[in-house]
Amino acid sequence: MPIYQYLKRAKEVLERNYNGRFTVPSVYLYPHQWNWDSGFIAIGYSRYDTERAIQEITSLFEAQWENGMLPHIVFDRKNLGKYFPESDFWQTDTAAFSNKKHLTSGITQPPIHAYAVLKIYENAKDKSKVKDFLRWIYPRLMKLHRYFYLERNPDDNGLIYIRHPWESGMDNSPMWDSVLERIDLKKAKVPPFERKDSQIIDPQQRPKDEDYLRYIYLVELFKKHRYDERKIFHDCPFIVIDPLFNSVLSASNEALIKIADIIGEDHRQAEEWYLTTARSMRDLLYSKKGKIFYAYDYIEKRQIEVATSAGFMPLFGGVASHSQAVELFETINSASFCKIHEENCFAIPNYDKTRKDFNAKNYWRGPVWININWMLYQGLKRYKFKQKAEHLEKIILELPIRFGFYEYFDSKYGAGYGTKDFSWTAALFIDLVYDFANTQAVKKGVGIYIQSVHSDVVLNLDKNSISINQPDEIYREFNILTENIIKRYVNNGTVNYRKIRLSPEYKLFQNIAGKLSFFDLSYINEDSSFFVNLYNMMVIDFILKMKVKKSVREVDGFFTKLKYQIDEKRYSLKDIENILLSKNNREKLLISLVRGKPSLLLL
């Protein structure tokens, strides 16, 4: 069947789940509006129905609380009684600042909304009309983010905590096991309740009853404190800093900066949030040993050393440093999370599949989720891991085509689990189909370089935004990547350009080279080794970008017209050479004369 037929089916799924005001995740299991589901659904709509995308976000934010919190469920009064827990159980009307016009839950979910709103604008044919929506939604998005940084930021370092596993979006993830075990079920007082999900879906694919007892215990605690954040914080046994939540927040902070620029608002607050959260995540959540970001148990002040797909989400948020990204790639492309072309392994499972308690069928303990893989696809593209990203894109498209638009999929065999006709699976499939079509349409124009350079050409103006902006971080990352490339791919004066071009280090070097455009050179304090590294990497980068065949002499102006912008000034290879000559430090310079495996000549 042609791809457009599956695209049509995906749109039919969304239409089936649309109730006139918003789109439910699935009419078969989830009859209300879910927080981050609507964000992903809006991204899908934005490809072909701008008005519906705007309506999806608008209906959700109409239920925003007075303190800025955006509930994880907005209940449809016409469908009450079909899900547990519903509004009668949450009792959010007892909260002084809850939304009294809408029935809602009392927790939130990962804030994908600003990111989705930016996608609506970018994908719109008539952007002028969308600007009115941007002006309406922007203060509400800021209010949501301000809630996080004022109410959920205990150390004022930009790391936002969650207080319930449902807030992570990964409900029964193994990440939460050790934290939830602090709730002693023998002592905990939990009212009787009846689950709906396990009556509709095979219980083997859902969280256990004892998990639900702990989930409901936490809800009871929130109700006791009438949803007062300060009281909950001091009494709640589940206070966790989640890498997925904070990465999605970072991606939306970045989107807020761009939205502010579009409508002429001041973006400095969003930029401060973005940089603060990103740096704190790098410092506190990353494990050099595990080569992954871990969740953080705030109560016990320790990393939760459980490897899940959440640990790769800093790629999506532009949070990971370049050296961290190289190590993340090693983990994401390993036997734990499916190597490229590995047999019996679909996409990226949400849990380390080498662990004994890995379960390819059970909810967030092993299956593949399309939204997680879609975000990782975006992150891999951001950090220029092209081969893995393209592989992931094809697998994400393949799963719904072969097995249907299910909630989640068997990570070994691809079978669909959970409820059928799941909205975000359909919506993100739609987004990828449009993205894939656009990519194919422009491929013919890729890789064409003019070899006669008549004016200055700046080759380090990279457009990917990674949250590395401080001079110390730029300097450290530049040196780490340069040293890794020289150490791994230069041997006895011979450069393996093919391996460099395909290496993750070189792809990440493109990002850090772009950061040099505003790098303060006074920071290096006469460090000539920086200029030596810079010169060598500029030579390698220019040869690869200009597609030199045999000799740099093929490019007229190779040493004088090709340039890097550094500290808002343009430098050619000749300029860098003159700087080093003034420092009497030429012995380490390497000039590449031919491509393939050329000798490098000492100057």
Active site residues: 171, 407
- What single DSSP character describes residue 413? T
What's the alpha-carbon Rg for the chain, to the nearest Å? 25
Q: How far is CA 354 from CA 65, 291, 322, 350, 358, in A?
A: 42, 16, 26, 12, 7
Identity of residue 260 = A
Burial class of residue 114 (count of CB atoms within 10 Å of its CB; 0-12, 13-18, 19+) = buried
CA dihedral 122, 126, 128, 134 (to 10 degrees): -50
Judge whether 423 and 23 are in contact, CB under 8 Å. Answer: yes
Beta bridge pairs of residue 162: 240
User: Which H or E element spans position 431?
Assistant: helix 423-442
Residues linked to residue 458 through DSSP beta bridges, in sequence order: 563
Please give the structure tokens belonging to residue 111. 């804030």
Q: Which DSSP state fits 335?
A: T
Task: Judge whether 308 and 366 are in contact, CB under 8 Å.
Answer: no
Residues in CB range of 88: below 8 A, 6 or more apart: 80
Cis peptide before 192 (omega within 30 of 0): no
Print burial letters for 326-340: b (CB count within 10 Å at least 16), e (below 16).
bbbbebbbeebbbee
- Strand 240-241 to 295-297 pairing: antiparallel
Q: Which residues of 377-398 are buried (b: 16+ CB within 10 A; e: fewer)?
A: bbbbbbbbbeebbbbbbebbbe
Query: In this structure, how many other beta carbons lie within 10 angstroms of the beta carbon of residue 406?
Result: 22
Instruction: For residue 52, give Cα distances in angstroms to 26, 421, 561.
Output: 17, 19, 49
Closest CA to 298 of 155, 174, 192, 434: 155
Q: Are 113 and 141 in contact (CB under 8 A)?
A: yes
Instruction: Report CA 561 to chain centroid distance, whole Å.
Output: 37
Q: Are 274 and 467 in contact (CB under 8 A)?
A: yes
Cα-based torsion angle of the residue sequence 579, 580, 584, 588 in order, rounded to the nearest 10 degrees: 180
3-state secondary structure 302-317: EEECCCEHHHHHHHCC
Tokens of 248: 């999605």
Which is nearest to 573 in space by CA: 594, 585, 597, 589? 589
Residue type, 114: A
Whole-angstrom Cα distance, residue 499 to residue 501? 5
Q: Determine the 3-state secondary structure of 17 from DSSP.
A: helix
- Residue 563, beta-bridge partner list: 458, 572
- Per the listing, tokens 């780490």 go with 480
Cα separation of 578 and 501, whole Å?
Answer: 28
